Amino acid sequence: MHYVDRVLASLKEKNPNEAEFHQAATEILNSLRPVVDRHPEYEKTALLERFVEPERVILFRVPWVDDGGNVHVNKGYRVQFSSAIGPYKGGLRFHPTVNLSIVKFLGLEQVLKNSLTSLPIGGGKGGSDFDPKGKSEGEIMRFCQSFMTELYRHVGADTDVPAGDIGVGGREIGYLFGQYKRIVNEHVGVLTGRGLSYGGSLVRTEATGYGLCYIVEEALADRNDGFKDKTVVISGSGNVAIYAAEKAQSLGAKVVAMSDSNGYIFDKSGISLDVVKQIKETERGRIRLYAERVKGAEYHDGCRDIWSIPCDIALPCATQNELDLESAKRLVQNGVKVVGEGANMPTTLDGISAFLGNGVVFLPAKAANAGGVATSALEMAQSSGRLFWTFEEVDLRLRSIMKNIYRNIDGAAREYGAEGDYVAGANIAGFRKVADAMLAQGIV
Ligand code: NDP
C-alpha cells in the first residue's frame, strides 16, 4: 500500500466521525503523492503522520449567563496544529455547527495556507458551538469574556495568535482582546483583526475578499483576460463576500447575486453594495430585506440555487461544502470560467473534479483566501514594530502576496506535471516549506 494510503487509513481509524477532517486530509495527501515519492526521508521520519496530527488540542467549557439570568454552557476549542514555521495562527469560529472535526479540517488547511503566504506563521484554528444570532450585545460580551477567561493561558503574541472567522468579527475581537488584556496586563498583538484604535491594521477587514479578487485577477491576466464586464455570483454576505463584491465591482465586474444562510438575492442590474452593507453590517439583518428595498431585485429561499445563475466567475464565500457536484455541473453548463474559493472548503471533492475535468480555472481556498491571514501577519509585524502603515502600503503588500501565491501554485503544479491544477499546486507549494522546517527540527 502506498505511504499516503496507509496514513489516510490510519487517520480515519484513529479519528472516526470526523468527516470534514477526513475530506480535507484526503484532498491534501492525495495531491502530495508525487512529492512523497521523490522524498523517501518523509516516510522514514513519519513526517506525514506527524503532519496530520495536531500538536495540541484544547477543549474547554464556556459557561455564560443570558439577559434573563439563565445559565448556558458551550464548548470551546483551540487546535494548535503546527508551529513548524511560526506561532500558531488562525481564526475563531462561533457557529452552532462547530465541532472538533470542523476545527481540525480548518486547522490543517490553515497550516498550508499560512505557509503559502510566505510569512512566518504556523497553523491553528478554534471556536465554539455558540450561536451569536439573536443574542444581545451584553450576551455576546459576556460569552466572549468567558471564552477568553480559559483561552488566555494557551495563546500569546509569540505562541498563538487567533483572529476572526464565521461569527467572529470586529465586535467579538474587541471583547476577546479586552478580556485578555485585563487578565494578562499586557497590550500586545495576541489577536488580529483588532480595531484601528487599539492596534489593528488598515485593510484587515477587506483583506480576504480583496485578496480573493487579486488572485482571480492574476489568473485571468495569465490568460490575457480581466474582471472587466464579467458577471460574478458570490455566495454569503459576510466579511469575505462583501469585500470580494466591493473589489470585483471596482475592477469592472457586475456582481448579480449574494446570499445568507436562508436564501439568495438576484439583481440583474448589479448588486447595490451599500444596501447589502447597511443590512448585514449595520442592522445585522437578513439578506431578503434587499429585495424589499431595491426595485427589480428578487429573493429566493434556500442557498443552493444561487449556483444556477449564469456567470463567468463564481466566488463561494459562505461555508464548507456549499457547492456540490450538481451545483458544479450547473455552473459548468452555464459557461463559468473561473471559480475562486473565498470560504474554506466550500466545494465538495466531486465538485472540484467536475471543475478540473471541464477546464474551469479553479483556485482553492488555501491559496485564494490567504489574503486574510497574510494581512493578519502584517498586523502582527506592525504590532511588534509599534508601526502603523497606510491603507495603500498594506494593500500593495497584500496584492503582491496574492500575485506571489499564484506564481507559486502555478509553478508547483507545472513542476509536478499537473499544469493548471491549482489544488495540487497549492498543496504541494504549501507543504514543501512545512516539510523542510519539520525535517530541520528533528522528531518533534
Ligand atoms: P461571516 O460570519 O462574516 O459571514 C458568513 C456568511 O456565510 C454569512 O452570509 C452567513 O449567513 C453565511 N453562512 C454561514 N454559515 C452558513 C451555512 N451553514 N449555510 C449557508 N450560509 C452560511 O464569516 P466570514 O465572511 O468571515 O467567513 C466566510 C467563510 O470564509 C468561512 O468559510 C471562513 O472560514 C472563510 N474565511 C474567512 C476569513 C476572514 O478573514 N474572515 C479568512 C479566510 C477564510 P448568515 O448571516 O445567515 O449566517
Query: Which atom in ligand 1 lies closest to the alpha carbon of residue 372?
Result: 40
Whether the CB-CB separation of 93 and 69 falls below 8 Å is answered with: no
For 54-187, CATH number out of 3.20.20.70, 3.40.250.10, 3.40.50.10860, 3.40.30.10 equals 3.40.50.10860
The stretches of 152-272 forming alpha helices (DSSP H) are 170-184, 204-221, 239-250
Q: Does domain 207-368 have CATH number 3.90.960.10?
A: no
Task: Give pLDDT, residue 420.
Answer: 97
Q: How far apart are CA 26 and CA 23, in angstroms?
A: 5
- For ligand 1, atom 33, name the residue with the nearest CA: 343
Ligand 1 center to 129 CA (angstroms): 14
pLDDT band at 320 (very low <50, low <70, confident <90, very high): very high
Query: Which atom in ligand 1 lies closest to the alpha carbon of residue 345?
Result: 32
pLDDT tens-digit map of 40-67: 999 999 999 999 999 999 999 999 999 9
Task: Give pLDDT, residue 9.
Answer: 98
Evaluate: CB of 166 within 6 angstroms of ligand 1: yes
Task: Give pLDDT, residue 371.
Answer: 98
Query: Which atom in ligand 1 lies closest to the alpha carbon of residue 242?
Result: 25
- For ligand 1, atom 31, name the residue with the nearest CA: 343
Whether the CB-CB separation of 66 and 72 falls below 8 Å is answered with: yes
The amino acid that residue 186 corresponds to is E
Q: How far apart are CA 245 and CA 226, in angstroms?
A: 15
Whether the CB-CB separation of 145 and 172 falls below 8 Å is answered with: no
Evaluate: CB of 167 within 6 angstroms of ligand 1: yes
Evaluate: CB of 321 within 6 angstroms of ligand 1: no
Whether the CB-CB separation of 210 and 243 falls below 8 Å is answered with: yes
Q: Where are the domains of the chain?
A: 54-187, 207-368
> What beta strand segments (E) does 213-371 contain?
231-235, 254-259, 263-266, 298-301, 313-316, 338-340, 361-363
pLDDT band at 36 (very low <50, low <70, confident <90, very high): very high
pLDDT band at 356 (very low <50, low <70, confident <90, very high): very high
pLDDT tens-digit map of 402-442: 999 999 999 999 999 999 999 999 999 999 999 999 999 99
Range 269-273 average pLDDT = 98
**Percent share of the chain, pLDDT over 70:** 100
* Catalytic residue from among 89, 104, 113, 125: 125
- For ligand 1, atom 39, name the residue with the nearest CA: 165
pLDDT tens-digit map of 78-128: 999 999 999 999 999 999 999 999 999 999 999 999 999 999 999 999 999
pLDDT tens-digit map of 281-314: 999 999 999 999 999 999 999 999 999 999 999 9
Task: Give pLDDT, residue 267.
Answer: 98
Catalytic residue at 329?
A: no
Q: How far apart are CA 382 and CA 379, in angstroms?
A: 5
Find where cell 509599534 sits. Answer: 386
pLDDT band at 247 (very low <50, low <70, confident <90, very high): very high
- For ligand 1, atom 5, name the residue with the nearest CA: 238
Query: Which atom in ligand 1 lies closest to the alpha carbon of residue 319?
Result: 32
Question: What is the chain's length?
Answer: 444
pLDDT band at 275 (very low <50, low <70, confident <90, very high): very high
**Same fold: 54-187 with 207-368:** yes
pLDDT tens-digit map of 118-161: 999 999 999 999 999 999 999 999 999 999 999 999 999 999 99
Q: Which set of grid coordinates corresponds to residue 359?
A: 477546464
Give bridge partners of residue 62 from the DSSP assignment. 74
Task: Give pLDDT, residue 56.
Answer: 98
Q: What number of H helices and E strands is found in the chain?
A: 18, 12
Task: Give pLDDT, residue 322.
Answer: 97
